[in-house]
Amino acid sequence: MIRALALLPLLATPALAQEACTTWTAGMMDDEGGQVFTAQACATDRPDAYLVLNCFGGEIFMRYDLAMGAERSPDQSEERDVVFRFADGEERLHMLYQDMDGMFAGDLAADAPLIDRLRSGAEVRITDADGVYPIHTIGLDGSSTALDQLLAQCD
């Protein structure tokens, strides 16, 4: 099940945006249904491309700005296999474009290998398997702490 969450401003000021691109953040954020605990980071090469994770009932809901900086906009309900490349391998997640917030969304178990890989290493490079959208890099500094905090809130 993919849950669409529309986070109102992801980051309120440029200073916060710059900080988020050097380290992951975790905390309560507003969405259309109220406050939700969120772990997030933005691409070091494209600060307006966000990776956002929420957790409900042991399931992670991940959203990513896959098309940020692309030459084309996603089609309504477009689906993509998204590749997360680490120094020692890769993980994939099937994601669906969500018109409401303009991000691709997918879900996975809280104990999925992708979550473990996001906790370590220096960075992850993210793109779609077909190479339609740009590759962006997200640093993993602070990811372990942010993801641990997210999982502790997961009920």
% of the chain at pLDDT higher than 70: 87
Residue 87: give its domain's CATH number: 2.60.40.1880
- Does some domain include residue 136? yes
Assigned domain for 62 exists: yes
At 15 the pLDDT is 44
Mean pLDDT on 116-126: 94
Instruction: Note whether residue 59 is domain-resident.
Output: yes
Alpha carbons 112 and 100: distance in angstroms, whole number: 26
Domain count, the chain: 1
Residue 120, domain extent: 14-152
List of residues 6+ apart from 126 with CB closer than 8 A: 43, 51, 64, 66, 82, 83, 84, 85, 135, 136, 137, 138
Q: Which residue has the higher pLDDT, 130 or 154?
A: 130
The per-residue pLDDT for range 15-65, each reduced to its tens digit, is 444 454 889 999 998 877 788 999 999 999 999 999 999 998 889 999 999
